[in-house]
Chain A
Amino acid sequence: MFNESLSVIKLKNILLVTVPDDPGDDMIYELQNKVLSAMEKYESAGLILDISSVNVMDSFFARTISETTQMVTLMGGHTVVAGMQPGVAITAAELGLHLGHALTALDVDSALEMLNHNLANAV
């Protein structure tokens, strides 16, 4: 099977991850591991998860995001989930899935703004 790799991009003090379309459970685990190692390496202040290409979100995915958010918080960063599709949001709200302490944003731009604003206020 083609092993699609996931990249964690560092932008100044923020990490950006684009979650691919239809991520499998392995992919989600990989995401968590990669994000946490990057947090350790760069001591980033924020993480943006761009999920705009994700069409289906299951409870495992939601829980992992929620857990990852908590872990990132423990390591000193804020997490923003950006670009959720309307259909995904409806299903998630109806199923009662939630993303824990993750913040949400319409797109990566507003997620960046949000993190910058938050960091400026925190200092």
Chain B
Amino acid sequence: MTYAASNYITVFDKWDDQKTFFCFTPEDAKRLSDFHPFAEKHVDEVVDGLYAHLLKFEEAQMFLDDAETLRRLKIAQRRYFLELTSGCYEEEYYENRIKVGVTHQRMGIPPRLYMGAYSYYLQLMIPLIYQYLGDDLEKANTTFSAMYKIINLDQELAMSAYIHAVEDVISKQTEEILEMSTPVIQVWEGVVATPIIGTLDSQRAQQFMEHLLEKIVESKSPIALIDITGVPQIDTATAQHLIDTINAVKLLGSKVIITGIRPAIAQTLVHLGINLQGIITKPSMSAGLKVALEMLAVGNTGFNKTN
């Protein structure tokens, strides 16, 4: 799975810019790779230390409850740790870091838990760096600075990926809600009904109209009931969308009955000067259905002037 093509905040094309922005230079990469042999020697110590720390917290324990998970996590963590000093910070590195954020989001691990782990990492690393390069304080300082920068970069990638994954979920849900919010139900042979719940904005109106028209044609229904009980308030834009829908339905050769006009809605419609003349309106769905059935019985569903 590649995240580079997504609209995620730091896209791979900008990864080089991102490194520059964090002042991460090729020298930093070199220093980290110099430190690699020493890191390799101490990897178990750091990883065990990190998990020993995490297991002190009830919240973290929840995610580390069985031995098998812990073993797998430690292996992943080992790899992760060694990659920090690999000296190669290109596409593969980038992809792996993004995966960390996405995986944590998917498992429902809150960012503060693993952000804390980054901080703890750094704490474990500082003594190691100074132990290894204690003779050359200048070199120890620059190595530490490089380590600090790469961890910061990692955090940024993980956070951005996390946010992106959350946004993804939200946009999927929005789509689903949109889909769910315009059901068209066949209530009788020749009668379809559709309740509108919530505000009818242009995007929803478009979808609503398409959905309703398709269903009318599919079911060959000469009457469509549009129930607006669930519309909290109506403004000129909403009314215009409704009128467009009614006109489109008329063009197909069916009739619209608007139901669920509450007193407040009736007042607003009159105050706004919205003209619904020539459209049958009823206070409730049941009253609308009654009219529809009467029309069907008489057989006079036609004589639908288009204007």
Q: Which residues of A are interface residues toward B (Cβ below 8 A)?
A: 80-90, 92-94, 98-107, 110-111, 113-114, 117-118
Name B222-254 residues within 8 Å CB distance of A.
222, 244-245, 247-254
Q: Which residues of B are interface residues toward A (Cβ below 8 A)?
A: 206, 209-210, 213-214, 216-217, 220-222, 244-245, 247-254, 299-307
Q: Given known contacts A82-B253, A100-B307, is B210 in contact with A117 (CB within 8 Å)?
A: no
Tell me the smallest distance from the CB of A109 to a CB of chain B, in Å: 9
Is B253 within 8 A of A105, CB to CB?
yes
Q: Given known contacts A101-B305, A118-B302, is B244 in contact with A93 (CB within 8 Å)?
A: yes
Of the residues B214, B247, B303, B307, contact of A86 by C-beta under 8 Å: B214
B contact residues around A103 at 8 Å (CB): 253, 302-306
Q: Given known contacts A84-B253, A106-B220, is B300 in contact with A90 (CB within 8 Å)?
A: no
B contact residues around A88 at 8 Å (CB): 251
Bound CA–CA A105/B253 (angstroms): 4
Tell me the smallest distance from the CB of B194 to a CB of chain A, in Å: 14
Of the residues A94, A99, A118, contact of B303 by C-beta under 8 Å: A118
Bound CA–CA A101/B202 (angstroms): 29
Q: A89-B213, A93-B251, A105-B253 are in contact. List 17 more A-B contacts (CB 8 A).
A: A80-B253, A80-B302, A81-B251, A81-B306, A84-B253, A86-B217, A86-B248, A88-B251, A89-B251, A90-B213, A93-B244, A103-B303, A103-B305, A104-B250, A104-B304, A106-B254, A114-B302
Bound CA–CA A90/B208 (angstroms): 11
Is A86 within 8 A of B302, CB to CB?
no
Enumerate 27 A-B pairs (CB-CB under 8 Å) in ascending A order. A80-B253, A80-B302, A86-B210, A86-B213, A86-B214, A86-B217, A88-B251, A89-B213, A89-B249, A89-B251, A90-B213, A94-B244, A98-B307, A102-B306, A103-B302, A103-B305, A104-B250, A105-B253, A106-B217, A106-B254, A110-B220, A110-B222, A111-B253, A114-B302, A117-B300, A117-B302, A118-B302
A contact residues around B214 at 8 Å (CB): 86
B contact residues around A113 at 8 Å (CB): 299, 302
A contact residues around B303 at 8 Å (CB): 103, 114, 118
Of the residues B248, B299, B302, B306, contact of A90 by C-beta under 8 Å: B248
Bound CA–CA A85/B213 (angstroms): 9
Bound CA–CA A51/B42 (angstroms): 79
A contact residues around B206 at 8 Å (CB): 90
Q: Given known contacts A103-B305, A104-B306, A113-B299, is B253 in contact with A93 (CB within 8 Å)?
A: no
Is A93 within 8 A of B305, CB to CB?
no
Is A86 within 8 A of B252, CB to CB?
yes
Tell me the smallest distance from the CB of B276 to a CB of chain A, in Å: 15
Is B210 within 8 A of A110, CB to CB?
no
Bound CA–CA A117/B252 (angstroms): 19
A contact residues around B209 at 8 Å (CB): 90, 93
